[in-house]
């Protein structure tokens, strides 16, 4: 069966719903269809709170049909392919939907098979992820009686890159509250080179790393999980300045061996005596034992999408949707736009970023409909990350392209967003969910 709509939006998540609602507000009579097979939508930013017992999972879920803006058609099917040369979307059931304008908002794909042993270990053996099942993280947190709590992330791009550390601070808070500091090692192992790339947030976060005595390991690429033996195996990456002195905060609990170094097949115990312990060379494999492991799994653009002509076919952004970084227009097809996690924009993939992207997409589509150029190039890479650092404290990192700090003009008059505080926590727990469901998904541009 073939059908035509003026605007087709593939993906009815954060970006798809927000764009549809804003388009409807901008031009009432538009014929818009959203294609998405899922019956429910979850407010993913709250996963962090669910995982620390600070919010009920059920409160983060809504029925998709309640979110589809009135007057917008919902095609409850999965897309198999997009053929932009024919202005055509092919559904898995074989139907074809043609369009005048297309918005691709298909989000990011979680790849549990992207790391050896992860799929087998996940959901048991102490391995959890707020990207998949925050309820299980909370279960593990409650079962934790001390030992190594390892927090880690992959070398691929991920959505909300702050999320893997938010839950770590909440773990630190939980451990302190339950008096387990002396028999707990919290370890952060990341392929990155620092805790956060933008000041003053980096300095503020460092206070919490110290407060919770978190051991940091930079240049660590997770390559394997051995679920039965509760071991995470890393490859050491080359760090930018050639330094291998990247373990911090190891002064306390120094007596314990928390890992092994494998060099030329020989296993050495790692005795981390002080903050300047030399962690060895690039390419060497390290094993870290864990009692609880939280990770962000490897992520990518959806596999089917990577094969379409809208995706970059090579280069560092291979697979992601190629868009102009200021106008959100496809670099190849002028009547096609991208929004959200699936795009190749060089900024953090978040719902907050979409809040600033959707109005640009809408403006440009309306301009094209009016016979003008898609010359709204207002998107400046804005993204933000509410970094929860305790059960009652949060700081709000806002930034744009090239790591330039940005600040919401109203909020920054009222609060210092670079300092973790209780009022910001209230914003995270109550204000942002309210704004998400009642303003952002309803098409308000604010």
Ligand X SMILES: Cc1cc2nc3c(=O)[nH]c(=O)nc-3n(C[C@H](O)[C@H](O)[C@H](O)COP(=O)(O)OP(=O)(O)OC[C@H]3O[C@@H](n4cnc5c(N)ncnc54)[C@H](O)[C@@H]3O)c2cc1C
45 binds ligand X (CB under 6 A): yes
Restricted to residues 297-316, the positions that interact with ligand X (CB under 6 A) are 302, 304
What is the smallest separation between the CB atom of 345 and ligand X, expressed in angstroms? 11
Binding span for ligand X by CB under 6 A among 34-42, 52-60, 257-265, 368-376: 34-42
Range 439-442, long-range pairs (CB < 8 A, 24+ positions): 440/14, 440/18, 440/351, 440/355, 441/14, 441/17, 441/18, 441/21, 441/67, 442/21, 442/69
Q: Does 75 bind ligand X (CB under 6 A)?
A: no
Which of residues 107, 117, 161, 319 is near ligand X by CB under 6 A? 107
Binding flag, residue 106, ligand X (CB under 6 A): yes
Closest approach, Cβ 247 to ligand X, in A, equals 26
| Interatomic CA distance for residues 52 and 166, integer angstroms | 10
Q: Judged by CB under 6 A, which of 5, 8, 9, 13 binds ligand X?
A: 13
Q: Which of 32, 33, 35, 390 binds ligand X (CB under 6 A)?
A: 35
Burial 258-271 (b: 16+ CB within 10 A, else e): bbbbeeeeeeeebe
Q: Closest Cα to residue 393, out of 411, 419, 362?
A: 419
Q: Nearest to residue 343, comparing CAs of 97, 77, 157?
A: 157
Q: Minimum distance between the CB of residue 79 and ligand X, rounded to whole angstroms? A: 4
The DSSP element (H or E) to which 21 belongs, if any, is helix 14-26
Q: Rule CB under 6 A: say whether 128 interacts with ligand X.
A: no
From the CB of residue 199, how many other CB atoms can be counted at a distance below 10 Å? Answer: 12
Query: According to CB under 6 A, which one of 23, 79, 209, 365 is a site residue for ligand X?
Result: 79
Are the C-beta atoms of residues 200 and 418 closer than 8 Å to each other? Answer: yes
User: Is residue 385 annotated as a catalytic residue, yes or no?
Assistant: yes
Question: Between 17 and 232, whose beta carbon lies closer to ligand X?
Answer: 17
Options 13-21, 117-125, 218-226, 363-371: segment touching ligand X (CB under 6 A): 13-21
* Residue found by looking up tokens 């503020």 in the block: 204
What does the alpha-carbon distance between residue 81 and residue 94 come to, in Å, rounded to a whole number? 10
Strand locations in 310-406, DSSP E?
A: 336-338, 383-390, 393-399
Instruction: Give the three-class secondary structure for 62.
Output: strand
Between helices 14-26 and 351-369, what is the axis angle to 10°?
A: 40
Q: Which residue has the closest beta carbon to ligand X?
A: 13
Residue with smaller CB distance to ligand X, 107 or 418 = 107
When asked if residue 10 is in the footprint of ligand X (CB under 6 A), the reply is yes
Residue 12 CB neighbours (<10 A): 25
Q: Considering the rule CB under 6 A, would residue 340 count as an interface residue with ligand X?
A: yes
Query: Does position 406 bind ligand X by CB under 6 A?
Result: no
In the complex with ligand X, the residue whose CB is nearer, 11 or 443, is 11
Query: Distance between CA 273 and CA 286 in Å, rounded?
Result: 17
- Out of 14, 308, 364, 417, the residue judged to bind ligand X by CB under 6 A: 14
Binding characters for ligand X, 348-387, by CB under 6 A (x = yes): -xxxx-x-------------------------------x-
In this chain, which of 78, 309, 332, 377 binds ligand X, going by CB under 6 A? 78
Nearer to ligand X, 125 or 350 (CB): 350
Instruction: Return the residue of 22, 48, 184, 364 that touches ligand X, per CB under 6 A.
Output: 48
Min separation Cβ 118 and ligand X, Å = 16
400 binds ligand X (CB under 6 A): no
Binders of ligand X: how many residues, by CB under 6 A?
Answer: 36
* 67 or 175: CB nearest ligand X: 67
- Cβ neighbours around 438 below 10 Å, total: 10
Q: Contact region for ligand X (CB under 6 A) — 5-13, 137-145, 168-176, 204-212?
A: 5-13
Residues recorded for the chain? 446
Residue 160 annotated in active site: yes
Output the six-digit token pair for 246: 């990247």
**Which of 55, 105, 247, 328 touches ligand X (CB under 6 A)?**
105
Distance in angstroms (rounded) separating the CA atoms of residues 33 and 72: 6
Strand, coil or helix: 436: helix
Q: How far is the CB of 364 from ligand X (least distance, A)?
A: 18
Among 99, 101, 131, 220, binds ligand X (CB under 6 A): 131
Integer Cα distance of 335 and 19 in angstroms: 15
- 14/108 Cα distance (integer angstroms): 12
> What DSSP letter does each residue of 119-185 carry, written as one string?
HHHBTSTTEE-TTT-HHHHHHHHHH--SEEEEEE--SS--BSTTHHHHHHHHHHHHHHHTT-GGGEE
Interacting positions 180-209 with ligand X (CB under 6 A): none
- Is residue 163 within the footprint of ligand X (CB under 6 A)? yes
Residue ranges that bind ligand X, judged by CB under 6 A: 10-16, 35-38, 44-45, 47-48, 78-79, 105-107, 130-131, 159-160, 163, 302, 304, 340-342, 349-352, 354, 386
Active site members: 160, 385
């Amino acid at each position: 069966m073939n059908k035509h709509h003026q605007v087709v939006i593939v993906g009815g998540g954060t970006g798809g719903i927000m764009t549809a609602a804003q388009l409807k507000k901008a031009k009432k009579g538009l014929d818009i269809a959203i294609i998405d097979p899922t019956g429910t939508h979850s407010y993913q930013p709250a996963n962090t709170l669910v995982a620390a017992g600070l919010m009920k999972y059920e409160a983060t879920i809504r029925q998709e049909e309640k979110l589809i803006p009135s007057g917008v058609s919902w095609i409850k099917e999965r897309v198999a392919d997009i053929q932009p040369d024919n202005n055509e979307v092919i559904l898995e059931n074989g139907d074809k939907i043609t369009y005048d304008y297309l918005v691709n908002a298909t989000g990011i794909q979680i790849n549990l098979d992207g790391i050896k042993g992860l799929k087998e270990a996940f959901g048991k053996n102490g391995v959890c992820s707020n990207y998949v099942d925050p309820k299980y993280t909370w279960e593990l947190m409650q079962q934790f009686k001390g030992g190594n709590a390892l927090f880690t992330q992959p070398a691929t791009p991920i959505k909300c890159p702050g999320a893997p550390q938010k839950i770590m601070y909440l773990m630190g808070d939980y451990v302190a509250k339950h008096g387990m500091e002396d028999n707990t090692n919290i370890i952060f192992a990341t392929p990155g080179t620092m805790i956060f790339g933008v000041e003053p947030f980096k300095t503020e976060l460092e206070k919490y790393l110290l407060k919770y005595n978190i051991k940091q390991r930079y240049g660590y690429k997770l390559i394997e999980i051995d679920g039965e033996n509760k071991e995470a195996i890393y490859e050491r990456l080359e760090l930018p300045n050639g330094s291998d002195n990247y373990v911090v905060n190891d002064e306390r609990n120094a007596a314990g061996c928390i890992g092994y170094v494998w060099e030329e097949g020989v296993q050495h115990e790692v005795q981390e005596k002080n903050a300047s312990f030399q962690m060895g060379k690039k390419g060497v494999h390290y094993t870290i034992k864990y009692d609880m492991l939280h990770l962000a799994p490897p992520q990518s653009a959806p596999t089917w999408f990577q094969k379409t002509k809208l995706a970059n076919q090579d280069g560092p952004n291979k697979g992601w949707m190629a868009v102009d970084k200021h106008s959100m227009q496809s670099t190849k097809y002028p009547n096609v736009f991208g929004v959200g996690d699936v795009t190749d924009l060089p900024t953090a993939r978040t719902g907050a970023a979409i809040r600033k992207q959707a109005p640009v997409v809408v403006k440009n589509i309306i301009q094209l409909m009016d016979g003008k150029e898609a010359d709204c190039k207002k998107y400046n890479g804005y993204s933000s990350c509410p970094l929860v650092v305790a059960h009652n404290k949060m700081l709000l990192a806002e930034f744009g392209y090239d790591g330039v700090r940005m600040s919401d003009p109203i909020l920054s008059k009222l609060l210092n967003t670079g300092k973790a505080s209780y009022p910001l926590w209230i914003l995270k727990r109550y204000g942002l969910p309210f704004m998400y469901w009642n303003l952002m998904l309803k098409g308000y541009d604010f």
